[in-house]
Structures are given as C-alpha cells and as structure tokens.
Chain A
Amino acid sequence: MTPDVPVKPDPARLRTANLRTALVFASIAVVFFAGILAAKFMGEPTTGIGVIGGAVLLFLVFAIGRNLRK
C-alpha cells in the first residue's frame, strides 16, 4: 500500500473524494437541523427518533458503501 517514493496525489481525484466526504457531513448537519425543527413542529417524539435514526442509518450506508468499492 505504502509507496516508497513520495508522490503528489492526483488533484482531481482528491478533489472529488473531498467533495464526497464533505457532502456526506453537510447532509448530516442539514438533516439534524431540519429534523429537530420538524420533530418539534409536528410534536411527535417518534419523528425526532425517526430523523436521528434515519440519519445514522444513512451515514452507515455511506460509510460502508464507500469501503465496499475499495
């Protein structure tokens, strides 16, 4: 895995990877923000749990999916 000669990483690939990571986390933040408002607005405790649970699942799917491809 470790190359012996230091190489500059391919900027285009790095940039895509970075963007993908950033989008995952930004979406988590957005889901949490919108979720907490939605949960309180509908007044149902289950909404909140659903939102958090959904977000965690989504994150897991992303995390596992990313590693499967490698």
Chain B
Amino acid sequence: MSSIPHDHVAGHDHGHDHHPTGIMRWVTTTNHKDIGTLYLLFALMMFFVGGVMALTIRTELFQPGLQVVHPEFFNSLTTLHGLIMIFGAIMPAAVGFANWQIPMMIGAPDMAFARMNNWSFWLLPPAALMLIGSFFVPGGAAAGGWTLYPPLSVQAGMGLDLTIFAVHIMGASSIMGSINIITTILNMRAPGMTLMKMPLFVWTWLITAYLLIAVMPVLAGSVTMLLTDRHFGTSFFNAAGGGDPVMFQHIFWFFGHPEVYIMILPSFGIISEIIPTFARKPLFGYASMVYAVASIAILSFIVWAHHMFTVGMPAAGLLFFMYATMLIAIPTGVKVFNWLATMWRGSMTFETPMLFAIGFIFLFTMGGFTGLVLAITPVDIQLQDTYYVVAHFHYVLVAGSLFAFFGGAYYWLPKWTGTMYSETLGKWHFWMSMIFFNITFFPMHFLGLAGMPRRIPDYAQQFADWNMMATVGAFGFGLSQLIFVVALIKCIKGAGTKAPAKPWEGADTLEWTLPSPAPYHTFETPPVVR
C-alpha cells in the first residue's frame, strides 16, 4: 500500500534531500507531508477493517435468530468495531489532515518536532495489530463493548489485556501528536499570522489538541486501574473489595465525552474551510465560530454523566447534567447558523467537497437534534442503550466526522497529489454514501424508540423489518466506499487532469499559494501574512 504514493511524491523531491528510498523512506521519514500520508492511508485501512466488522454485525442482524456468528464473537465484533473506528480510523485521519495542512496553512516549514512526529505515527500500527490480533488469543477479543465497563471487562480473557495495551499506545501517540500540533501552532506561525487570522481548521485543531492532552491521560489512567484490578488484586472498581464499578464509568466518560468533540471539531474546521471556498464568500462570523468551538470544548468537560443517566444518580445530578448537556446545543447551533449565513447570498458551485459539506451540515444537524432528545433525562431513560443511541452517534460520527473527512480529502487531493480527482466518481461516491447512510441508520431511530437494546445478536420479531432494511443499507454504504478508493488511486497515479496551484476559485488560505502538488519542502522561508 505504501509503495504507491512513494514514487509519485518522491518525484518532486528537492535535490538536496538524501533520505532513504523504498520502505525505509516511510519508516524513517520526518517530513510532515509523508507522515500525513501515512496517517491517512493507515486510517483508510482501519476504516475498511472496522467496516468489515460492521458488515458482519449487520449480516447477523439481517434476520431474527442466530445464523452467522456466536453471541460472544458478536460482542467482540461490536467492541472492536467501535475501538478500531474511533482510535484507528477517525482519530488518525484527523491527525493526518493536521499533519498535511497545519504547516501549510500557517506558513511553517514542518511540524515542530519532526522526529517525534514519526514516532507518534509508528506507534499506531503495533497498536492496531494488537487489537486485531486479540481475536486470535485464547478467550477471543474484548467483548464488553468499547467502553470496557467493569466488572464485565474483569471477567474477560487475554484479549482485553491486549486492548488495554493498545489503548495505552494509541493514547501515547495521541498525546505526542497533540503536543506537536500545539507547539507548531503556537510557535511556528508565519510573521503576521496572528491567532485570530489563522484558518478555522487550525483553530479547531488547536482546541482539539488541548482536549486530547487533558483527557487521554485520564483514559490511560482508567484502563491502567482496570489492568491492576484484573491482575494485581486491586479493587478500584470491585465492590467486594470496597471499590465502585460506577466510578469507572465516571472516569471513562470524563474522557469519553471530550473524546466525541475531539472527533468532531477537526471536521468543523474542514467544513469551515470548504463552505466559504465554494460559496465564494468569506466565512460568516469568524470570531463567533472560534468562540463557539472553545465553548463546546469547555462545556464538554461538564456533561459526561449524560452517558450514565440510568446508573441511578440523585435528582440533582440528573438535572445538572441535563441542563449542561442542553447548553451545548447553543454553540453548536451558532456554528450551523454561521455556515448557513456563509452560504447565504454567495455564489455557490457544488463540486464534491461542497456536496460532502452540505451533506455534513444536513445530517450532522439531525444527529444534533437526536442528541437534544437524548439530553432530556426522562426521554433518555427510555432510549439509553437502545438503537436510538446507535443511530444518534452514527449520524454525528459517520455523517459528521467521516463525511467531513471525505469532503476534506476531495478538497485537498489536488494539492496533495497534483492531480484533479474525478468529479464523476466523487459525485457518485457522495450520493451513494448519502442515500445508503440514511437507509442504514435512519430506521435505527425507530428500532430504538420501539425498544430494541443495542449490542444484542438476536432480537424480537417486531424489530425484523427495520433491521433488514438497515442491513441492506449497510452493504450499500460499505460498497460505496470502494468508489473513493478508486478515485484516490487515480489521483495518486496521476490519472486525471493536472491540478493548478489553486484549483478552487474561492480558496484563499496559504496552501493554495504553493504549486500543486505541494513540493516536499514548503515555506522554508516563511511567507508574510498581512
């Protein structure tokens, strides 16, 4: 996989580079563009691994009854699907975008710590191997859900230990990546690029990196306690030894809720770049967008217990977390309104990146509404741990994060590869994804309302029709993603029209001042921003 882009990018090296060639070039690279490519390709591979798991899950759920997999293996699939998609696909993809774009958008020659950048990437493949390899150890892979709640996770076999180590490694990678990104943004902006002149993508990543540094250690701490509970006789979460299983949930979600914003904020940034470009109009309310992102990030620390409304909190706790959660709707709403105001009275064209951006706004807002419904504690009591929740977070993570990443990929592929992507393939990819996504996940709202719990391998008869529909949609959605692979390979191979330095009429960030494809080294002399 890694040999495909190699030849191409290497062809544009400056003469004075003496890095190794072949596979060693990728292992030893400290170039932010190479590392960005590695991150993005890794994320794409993991996306397909997690996708195959999702399709196996949907196959089992095609009809009532047990047909394809055993219940224990089914649980492993749902667990690993979640972990791989979150830690293997969405987060690395976001870091890939950061690596490629942040230096080019702020006029820096590279990331602040080029060698650490290499380490943070190369920690990921071993972690992924541990996760996938855990299927083959005695007892099978972790099967207690991606949230790893004890005491269930204390019962599990060796697969869970591998999962814990993988989470540790990926956490370390994320923290190193975040430190790198923060340092780059704070110290290496081109002269004149004040904080409030930075492109919004850079802003969202700066805030995301802060969130990561605050919460990844918390996750690492909670899984470490889980590990010592499992093997060293501690009783952090064991009631018989004086611990409290619910405490794990509090700590986990203290990480887990900021984590969902970690996954969505970079997408907000990408959308905020794409919409003004294709509306040919400056972003509406730049400052309020920055404040909205910051408010979301701060609020994300005081809403964690809305994931736990059914654990039996006192009324005061339920009320506090309900109100705090509802408040998040306000900055999120501000962002959506600002995007609409940017489009309003613009001069819009609808190339693939813009289609994905509009699809993002449309479907993410639906996920936002279901989020509001779930924030209402009494309603959440009925919907907690049902397919309604599954529908909700797939609307914000698939139609949210993932669609934004596809939009971003089409937007910047001309800059990265020097070749325009095929507009026909891009449009097919968008419309197929859009239609099949809704066929897959919209019925899940009804399933949840009607009372189908999540994480079950078999279900009662009244859930049969919607499940069948969801499975059909899932296969359609999965296959549609192959269109992207074709479009991507065509770009990498240079099959298509040659991209000009600035292929988008309305684009005005710094990366478009560079030739396409972007040279191996850029902005060694910083540009001046006025």
A touches B (Cβ under 8 A): yes
* Residues of chain A at the chain B interface (Cβ within 8 Å): 1-4, 6-9, 14, 17-18, 21-22, 25-26, 28-33, 35-37, 40-41
12 contacts between A and B (CB under 8 A): A1-B191, A2-B530, A6-B525, A8-B525, A14-B188, A21-B182, A22-B183, A32-B213, A33-B220, A36-B218, A37-B225, A41-B236
From B186, which residue of chain A is reached at the shortest CB distance?
Answer: A21
Give the docked Cα–Cα distance between A35 and B254 (Å).
14
Residues of chain A within 8 A of B524, CB atoms compared: 8
The distance from the CB of A51 to the nearest CB of chain B, in whole angstroms, is 11
Question: Closest residue of chain A to B529, judged by CB?
Answer: A2
| Most interface-central of A4, A30, A37 (chain B CB within 10 A) | A37
Q: Are A29 and B213 in contact (CB under 8 A)?
A: yes
CA distance A33 to B168 in the complex (A): 11
Interface residues of A, dominant DSSP: helix
Give the shortest distance, in Å, between B372 (CB) and chain A (any CB).
29
Neighbouring B residues of A25 by C-beta, 8 Å: 178-179, 182-183, 213
CB contact between B217 and one of A6, A8, A21, A33 (< 8 Å): that residue: A33
**What are the residues of chain A within 8 A of B225 when measuring CB–CB?**
37, 40
A3, A7, A17, A36: the one contacting B187 at CB < 8 Å is A17
The answer for the CA separation of A9 and B225 in the assembled complex, in Å, is 45
Determine the chain A residues whose CB is within 8 A of the CB of B192 once the complex forms.
Answer: 2
In whole angstroms, how far apart are the Cα atoms of A22 and B181 in the complex? 10
- How many residues on chain B are close to A (CB under 8 Å)? 34
B224, A9: Cβ atoms under 8 Å? no
Pick from B187, B220, B236: contact of A40, CB under 8 Å: B236
Q: Which residues of chain A have C-beta atoms less than 8 A from B221's C-beta?
A: 32-33, 35-37, 40
A-B interface contact total, Cβ < 8 Å: 82
Task: Assess whether B213 is in contact with A28, with CB atoms less than 8 Å apart.
Answer: yes
| Shortest Cβ distance from residue A56 to the other chain B in the assembled complex, whole angstroms | 10
Query: In the complex, what distance in Å separates the CA atom of A14 from the CA atom of B189?
Result: 11
A31 partner residues in chain B, CB cutoff 8 A: 217
Contact among B183, B224, B526 for A18, CB-based, below 8 A: B183
- On whether the beta carbons of B526 and A6 are closer than 8 Å, the reply is yes
Q: Is the CB of A4 within 8 A of B528?
A: yes
Best-surrounded residue of A29, A37, A41 (most CB of chain B within 10 A): A29
User: Which one of B183, B192, B524 has the highest number of Cβ atoms from chain A below 10 Å of its Cβ?
Assistant: B183
Residue of A nearest to B221 (CB): A36
Report the Cα distance A35→B225, complex, angstroms.
12
Contact with A along B190-228 (1 / 0, CB 8 A): 111000000000000000000001101110111011000
Q: Give bound CA distance, A20 to B180, whole Å.
A: 12
Of A8, A18, A37, the residue contacting B112 (CB under 8 A) is A18
Chain B residue at minimum C-beta to C-beta distance from A32:
B217
Q: How far, in whole Å, are A29 and B187 apart by their CA atoms in the complex? A: 20
B212 to chain A, nearest CB (A): 9
Query: Are B224 and A37 within 8 A (Cβ)?
Result: yes
Contacts of A29 in B (CB 8 A): 175, 179, 213, 216-217
A36–B217 CA distance with the chains assembled, in angstroms: 8
Interchain nearest-CB distance for B502 vs A (Å): 20
Chain A minimum-CB-distance residue to B192: A2
Q: Which residues of A contact B180 (CB under 8 A)?
A: 22
Chain B, Cβ-Cβ closest to A8: B525
The answer to whether A8 and B528 have CB atoms under 8 Å apart is no
Chain B residues with Cβ under 8 A from A17's Cβ?
Answer: 187
State in angstroms the CA–CA spacing of A7 and B225 once bound together. 50
Contact across chains for B224 and A32 when beta carbons are under 8 A apart: no
Residues of A with C-beta under 8 A to B191: 1-3, 6-7
Q: Which residues of A contact B528 (CB under 8 A)?
A: 2-4, 6
User: Which residues of the other chain, A, contact B224 by a CB distance below 8 angstroms?
Assistant: 37
Contact with A26, one of B179, B186, B218, B530 (Cβ below 8 angstroms): B179
Judge if B52 is at the interface, Cβ distance under 8 Å: no
Knowing A2-B192, A9-B526 touch, does A40 contact B186 (C-beta < 8 A)? no
**Contact at A36–B175, with CB atoms within 8 Å?**
no
Q: Which of B396-450 contact A (CB under 8 A)?
A: none
Instruction: Using CB atoms, name the residue of chain A closest to B178.
Output: A25
B251 within 8 A of A: yes
CA distance A14 to B527 in the complex (A): 17
Would you list the 8 A-B pairs with minimal beta carbon distance, nearest first?
A36-B221, A33-B217, A32-B217, A2-B192, A18-B112, A21-B183, A25-B179, A29-B217
A44 and B179 alpha carbons, distance in the complex (Å): 30
Report the Cα distance A3→B529, complex, angstroms: 10
Chain A neighbourhood of B236, CB < 8 A: 40-41
Beta-carbon contact of A18 and B187 below 8 Å: yes
Residues on A with beta carbons closer than 8 Å to the beta carbon of B251: 36, 40
State the Cβ distance, B183 to closest chain A Cβ, in Å. Answer: 4
User: How far is the CB of A5 from the nearest CB of chain B, in Å?
Assistant: 8
Q: Does B336 make an interface contact (CB < 8 A)?
A: no
* Besides A2-B528, A18-B183, A36-B221, 7 new A-B residue pairs in contact (Cβ under 8 A), listed by A number: A1-B191, A8-B524, A18-B188, A21-B186, A26-B179, A28-B214, A36-B217
